[in-house]
Structures are given as C-alpha cells and as structure tokens.
Amino acid sequence: MAAVIETKGLSKVYGDVTALDSVSLSVEKGTLFGLLGPNGSGKTTMIKVLTGQIRPTGGFATVLGLDAEKEGIRVREKVGIIPEQESPPSFLTAMEYLEFVGAVRKIPDIGERAEKWFELLEFGDKKDVLCKDLSRGTRQKLMFAQAFIHEPVLALIDEPLINLDPVMQDVVKEFLSDYVRKGNTIFVSTHILEVAEEICSRFAILHKGKLLHAGSVADVTAGGGHLPGFFLSLVRKGGHA
Amino acid sequence: MHSTMFGSISFALFPVMIFGIVFMGSFLLPLLSVAFPAGDLAFLAHASFLLLGFMVGGFGLLGNEMMNRRFGQASLLVYSSRSLPLSERFIFTNFVVKDIVYYFFLWVLPFGGGYIAASPFLGVPLSRALLLLLTLSLSFLLGLCVVFLLSSLYVRSKAACLLIVIFLGIAGGVYTIWSGTNPTLLFPPYLLYSAFSWMTFLGTSIAVVTMFLASVVLFSPEGTGLSRTYRRRLGRLARVLSFLPESPIVAKDFLDLSRSGIGIGQALFSFVLPLVVIWFFLSLLRSSFPPNGLVVIFSLTAGIIASTIYTWVTEFDSFGPYSCLPVAVSTLIAGKMTTFLFLQVLPAVFIGTVAGISAGPEMIAPAIVLCLSISIYAAAVMAFLCGLSPSVLVYDVRVLLTYLVLDGVALVLFAAVSFASSLYAFLSVFLLFPAYLLFRAAGARWDARDPAGI
C-alpha cells in the first residue's frame, strides 16, 4: 500500500528542548493510525510539523506526496486537522464558523454539509450561539465538524475524544472506524490507550521526542496482551534509558 | 509574567533605550528652546504622557476573550477565578495594577530618569527634574484613569457614558467661550509643574484614586454560560466583500469588532477622545508653528494614532484558530490590513472635519492625504516588524528602534515639506509605495517563520 505520511529523521528543537528526535515513520493509506505517548512526548509537535504549521529543524516529512515544510498550505488544503488546544473564533456563531471554513476551503454546499454535522453530533440547537459561549464539549464537536466537512482523504486529529461525553465518544469512534473503511486514513494522537487499542490498526509510541516502537495493534493483542501494558513497559524502559 | 511572555534581552533593554534617548535628547533642549519655549516643551511632554495614559487605559473593554489573547498560553490566569478562591474582579484588578506598574517602568520612569540624570549637566535643579517625573506620572495616571472609568462605564451603559462625554464636552466648550481661555491650561499636572501646591497635588491624587476605584467597581466581568443566539451575518457580509481576495477574513474581522463592542469602544477611547484632547493641547502652541502648521502636526499625530487601528484588528486572534485551515500568515496579514484600510474612513472623516473647522476648506484634502498616508505607511512598518503581534513585539527594543527610525524619517520629512506649503502635503502619497513594499515583505517575512500563538 502507498504511504500517505512518510517521515525520515524528522527533528524539531525549541531552544534547549528537543521535541522530535530523528523520527522516521510511515503511515499507509486506509489505516487508523494511533500516535501514542506520554504528555510532552512530541505528539502535538509531530502533527504540527506534518501539517506545515511549524518547520522541522532536521529531516523531512511528506504528506500525501507533498513536502510538509515547503507545501504546508497545500497539505492543509487536502487534509483535515483537529488541533489539540485551539478553539473556534470567539465572535462567530457555530454555523458561521463552518461557513467561514467553507469559504476558506471553497466548499459550495457548505450549508447542507454543516446541517449534517449538526445532526450527527447533536448540537443543532447551538448553531447560532457564539463560539465563546459554547461548552468545551460543543467546541470540540465543532472542531470535529470543521476537520471532516470537506471529506479529506487524510485527517490528523489530536486527542479527538477529549471533552466529549461517553455517548458522543461512541458516535465519534464509530464515525472514525467507518471513515477508514471507506479507504481514508486517520492519524490520531492520543494518550488514552484503551481508545487506541479499540479503534487503531497500527500505532507508534513516542517518548521524549524519540520513536520507541511502531507496529500493528493486532501483534500486541494477539497473545492476550494489551496495548496499555505494552505501552507502559516500553515507556518505563525508555524513560530509564 | 511579562518576562515569560516577552523574555528576551531586547525587551529588557526597552526602558534603557528610552532612558538613553531622553538623557541624550536633554542636551538638545538649549538648542530647541530657541525655536520652542521650554514651557511649551514641558507642556508637550505632559500632553504626550496624558496620551499614553489614554492609549493604555481602555481596560474596561477587556473581557476574558481579550485577556486570553494577551496572556496566550498563560490563559489559566484568566480562569483561575474558577479554580481558586479569587473573584474575577480581583484578578482583573491585579491585571490592571500590573499593567500600570509595567508601563510606569517601561515608559514613565525611564523618561523621567533620563531627564533627572541629565539635569546636573544642564544646570536644572534636581528638585525640578524630580517634580517633572512626578507630574508626568500624574499625567499618565490621569489619562489612564479617565479612559479606564469611561470604558468601564461604556461596557455597563453606553448611554450613560455618552451622556458624560457630551456633558464634559459642553462644559469644556462653555468654559472656553465664557473665559476665553483654553481649558487644557487647567490640566492639574501641568499646573503642578508650573507652580507646585500641595492642595493641587492632593486633589489630583484623590481624583486618580477615586476614578480608579470607581472603574474597578464598575468593571463588568464577562458573563459565562450565556447562550444568546445571533443572526447569521458572516455569509452575507463575505458575499458583499467578495471582490476582495480575503473576504471571509475581513468579514470575520468586522463581526469581531461589532459583536465584541471593541470597535466602537476603541474608536472612542483610543482614537477620538485622545485626539480631541491633544487638539486642545496643541492649539495652545499655535504661535510656535508656521501658518497651517498646527493642522499639519495634528494630521501627522492623527496618522500615527490611526496606524494603531492595525493593533485593534490583530488583537482578536492569533494564528492558532487558523492553523487547521489552508491559510498562510501572509494571507491573514493581508486580511487584517484590508480591514485596517476600511477603517481608515474614521481618521479621514475626523481629520477632515477638524481641518475644515480650524483651517478652512482648502486644508481638508491635504490634511486627509497626509494623515492617511502616514497611517498606512506606519501600519505597513508595524506589519513588517511585528506581523500579527504588534502590541507585543513593539516592546522589543530592536523592533521599536527600527519602527521609530522608519516612522521618524517620514514624519520629519513630511512635516518639513508641509510646513513649507500645505500643497506639498500631497507628496505624502509617495509613502504608499514603500508601504506597499513593506506590506509585501511582511508576508514573505512572517511566512518564513513558525507562527506565534500555536
């Protein structure tokens, strides 16, 4: 299968802090790929570099065949992104924000698409409320909608289930699995290992900016093992290395 | 916290630079006093610090949203009222006090300190130099507290605020007509500097403290959990502006300004009010300028203040909310600059009215051209040097020095030619050429860096 994400020796240094340390990784098309790691392991930096939001200090990354550093805007045209912390603009309503995204991405039928998302994620009653007045969970739903509203072949999502209630988490997990079954790829960064084990087919573990392991979830769980146990043993070993 | 936000040697050097400029500039005072009486210079210095106070004082307009933008990643401070036994008013008051102390150490103390350090060499008694520091501090605080009070009142009740402003305007007008004197001559800090009296000092101090406390009491913390609905306007506005390449961004800016209430508030407290007061101050110095020189100076001042409209439109959002979209920093800068250009109608109308009333219809066009050319040029310089964070990066000493030099050259040049003949003010349109080049360079420069705020 073709790789939709490819990194070679990817590094990012902020002053004295090495956020990514020569990471080489490949993500194939049609995969729900989990990027796992403790807080501060470099997961968010990885997504920012892959989507051309920040520049690597070493190595390179290609996303959908595009150079993430030099063609960041084209990468962001093609992919969907849910950033970890960002909120939608304060003084637009939820509907206006999706209209704004539609105008920037040049989506002609944005109104109809937006309605579908309000229905799927059950927040149609909030569509005319300013984003600053939305709860964190509703903001997360809105960010989810903006990431998928143009039906990208690849989505890079950072902690997608955070702030969502258990019912909505279930809706989102089902959506993600279904989306991948249609041949799309999802690159999800999370530290909720149970979720990763449940929905991801492949995964990689980052720790202190270094890639500790990349492989298949099935390989870990085959002999009755579990991803959380595998992760903890690896990170603890890596932490003492 | 400021060291976290701006922590760099360049930022720390800012007050040192102000100190140095004033120290060295003080040695030019004997030369300047030939053309400009020393009393006028002191008067201008007080007016400048009053203006600084005006520009800083709009705290009442700050809600959590704006505080978040200021604090960025440190926004937990804004929300600490929800997790710690601290009220939002307490956090807000701390923020305001911190800002006042910060501006005092950044601007007022280095300015006064520079003059104090130079005073022994100039034969100025140390007590006079210390008095200047005191009265400049009071000028700054008075300006700050007046705008703080009005902006807090504005958020509570726009009608009450408007009534007070109208009342003060009428009172000033009646006094001027009745007494035949300019009311700014009664400006307490300048009175104190001219002839110190404990009564005036106490009265001024009490006024400052009272206005500050009243502003804190009036401060209206942003409501939380409200779910007011709004009519959809973005799509229609973007369609009206569809002839612009960045129409969604410009439409969003207008909605930000309108729905936050910041647009009218900023126009009132950061533009109209300071300029009206500065006009009264400058008009006292009319005899020191050539014919129509007052309008020229006022147009240049209005141009510089109008350029800060660029900071209003960049205050709302960092690059963060756009980072998940195919939007480059240069596109955002272009969008913000387009909104800025639309808003230039405000200074154009204002300066045109002032020029028409004070110098006759023949000065309207030169004054507007001069003001807008300077404004657009200074905003382009700001965009080039600071990108989307002008209100933060301008305190980097290298940035500020470059800004002062680039703007200073244009100001001196066009003040000189416009003094010679008001028709030469039209030459300032040539500033639009470097402004365009700087704007283009700003896009390339900030696209090549990791954006701030993500």
> Do the Cβ atoms of B248 and A83 come within 8 Å?
no
Q: In B, which residues are within 8 Å of A146 by CB distance?
A: 324
CA-nearest residue of chain B to A96? B234
Interchain pair B326, A132: CB under 8 A: no
> pLDDT by residue (tens digit) across A77-99?
999 999 887 678 888 999 999 99
Read off the pLDDT of residues B100-152 as tens digits, 9 standing for 90 and up. 888 898 889 999 999 999 999 888 899 999 999 999 999 999 998 988 888 88
User: Is the Cβ pair A133, B451 closer than 8 Å?
Assistant: no
The CA-atom distances, in angstroms, between B132 and each of B16, B127, B234, B274, B383 are 19, 9, 51, 22, 35
* 3-class secondary-structure state, position A216: strand
Residue range A129-167, pLDDT digits in tens: 999 889 889 999 999 999 999 999 999 999 888 889 999
Ranges of chain B with pLDDT below 50: 1, 3-5, 71-74, 76, 224
A70 at B interface, C-beta within 8 A: no
Asked if residue A45 lies in contact with residue A54, where contact means CB atoms within 8 angstroms, the answer is yes
CA separation for the pair B250, B271 (Å, rounded): 21
Looking at the structure of chain A, the number of domains it has is 1
Domain boundaries, chain B: 1-222, 233-454
Residues of B in contact with A133 (CB under 8 A): 225-228
Pairwise CA distance, residues B354 & B133, whole Å: 32
How do the residues of chain B divide into helix, strand and coil, expressed in percent and rounded to 5?
80, 0, 20
What pLDDT score was predicted for residue B84?
Answer: 66
Residues of B in contact with A12 (CB under 8 A): none
- Among candidates A54, A88, A128 on the partner chain, residue whose Cβ is nearest the Cβ of B321: A88
- In angstroms, the CA B340 to CA B314 distance is 10
Domain of residue A176 covers: 3-240
| pLDDT (0 to 100) of residue B452 | 63
Partners of residue A88 in chain B, C-beta under 8 Å:
321
Q: Do B325 and A130 touch (CB under 8 A)?
A: no
C-alpha distance from B85 to closest chain A C-alpha (Å): 22
Let me know: does B439 contact B383? Beta carbons within 8 Å: yes
Within 8 A of B317 by CB-CB distance, chain A residues are 89-90
Here the tokens at position B439 are 């704007």
- Give the pair of three-digit tokens for residue B321: 């909310």
Average pLDDT over residues A212-229: 90
B12-36 b/e (C-beta count within 10 Å ≥ 16 → b) = ebbbebbbeebbeebeeeeeeeeee
Chain A residues 115-134 with a CB less than 8 Å from chain B: 126, 128-130, 132-133
CB pair distance less than 8 Å for B454 and A95: no
ipTM: 0.91
Nearest-angstrom CA–CA distance, B316 and B248: 15
Q: How far apart are CA B319 and CA B314, in angstroms?
A: 10
| Residue A241's pLDDT band (cuts 50, 70, 90) | very low
Could you give the CA distance from residue B310 to residue B77 in angstroms, rounded to a whole number? Answer: 26
